[in-house]
Amino acid sequence: MNIALVKHIKKYYQLYILLLPAFIIVLLFRYLPMYGIQLAFKNFEPAKGIFGGDFVGLKYFSRFVNSFQFIDLIRNTVLISIYTLGIGFPIPIILALTFNQIKNGRAKRFMQTISY
């Protein structure tokens, strides 16, 4: 290691300690799960575990794209996404605005409790 770097770390060690939890969180929740992506490129066999199995490359991806159900699966995925954005997003906002218009406090709380 560079001597200047070691001096810098010793001088500002408190800042590096503050940085450590953020670094650990990024490592645990961003980089560690990426290891599981290798299963998409392997012939997974439960008896051999995650590390076992032969590497097959893009075999399963090409099988999926060439499947007769591919178009239906993509269409359903897009339709569900559109439904979620078009219906699932504005309905709670409209409901909250509607509750805001109720003047009777007891009725308002009752309706909010029922909807929850």
Can you tell me whether residue 55 is helix, strand or coil? Answer: strand
Q: Kindly state the percentage of the chain with pLDDT values over 90.
A: 43
Q: Kindly state the percentage of the chain with pLDDT values over 70.
A: 99
Banded model confidence at residue 62, pLDDT cuts 50, 70, 90: very high
Tokens of 71: 């178009």
Q: Give the tens place of pLDDT for each residue, 28-55.
A: 999 888 888 888 888 888 888 877 888 8
pTM over 0.85: no
Q: How far is CA 98 from CA 47, 74, 91, 92, 107, in A?
A: 56, 36, 10, 10, 12
The chain-wide mean pLDDT, for the chain, equals 90
H-only helix segments in the chain = 3-11, 13-26, 59-65, 70-83, 90-100, 105-115
